Amino acid sequence: MSDRRLPRIRALLARPGAWVDEADDGYALRLGPTRRDRVHLTFDEATFRALVGAPGLTVRPGGGWAMRTVRATADGPAPGRPGVIEGERPLMEADGRVTARRANLGESPIAWLARRQDASGRPWLSPAQVAAGERLRAEAETALRGPSLTMRWDALPRSGGGSSARVEPTDRALSAAARVEAALTACSPRLRRIVEQICIHGSSLKLAEEGLGLRRRQGKILLKQGLQALAAHYGSG
């Protein structure tokens, strides 16, 4: 269900000094430049994603996000970039090295989780865990990038069974599918399920927990363990 406060939130975000901060269970809108300024209101991930789409958000130097500045051109205001949050993301190279690259931080659940912090203010996921999750996601996207638009992950050949009768994926897609299966196999069956839901199917942590019948916050523990197993599989754990 969409947040009925969206128009008000967007109007408040347009005020000078307004910005979005992370909260315990979502996000907080602050109308002053620092965390000493009180939280005006809070909202959830769905509302945050709506703000990413319009008016668009950009990373603040001191943390959090502010409304994207639209630059004027000779033909009028420059178009925004819906769904884009500019920043840096740790990505894993083929040899297992983790490097930081410019990336859209608004495009995957792993990128969102990478911005979360624990009670002591440290990143909840390590760079190696983030990079491993993003590498698995990228491999899965390659595996699904075949000639058929109806191609699904469960249609790709898997070790010990499965069928590709519905599609004719390229050699590159088949190779990527084999790498994805090997990476998932490196996780225990219990960890594999949540890793697959979030890294491959793009589910949010909350939806993955509900879909797998997990208790609240149990998914965080299992996902972190699964990503660590992936990092070890890729040689950076």
- Say whether 19 sits in a helix, a strand or coil: strand
CA distance 53 to 47: 10
Task: Give residue limits of the domains in the chain.
Answer: 6-77, 86-234
pLDDT (mean) for 176-198: 91
At 33, the amino acid letter reads P
Average pLDDT of the segment spanning 133-141: 87
**Comparing C-alpha atoms, which of 221, 189, 183 is closest to residue 205?**
221
**Per-residue model confidence (pLDDT) at position 103:** 64
pTM: 0.55
CA 73 to chain CA centroid, nearest Å: 32
Q: What is the pLDDT of residue 168?
A: 46
Residue 194 reports pLDDT greater than 90:
yes
CA–CA gap between residue 124 and residue 114 (Å, rounded) = 7
Percentage with pLDDT > 90 across the chain: 25
Q: What are phi and psi of 134, to 5 degrees?
A: -70, -35
Q: Residue 151: what pLDDT?
A: 38
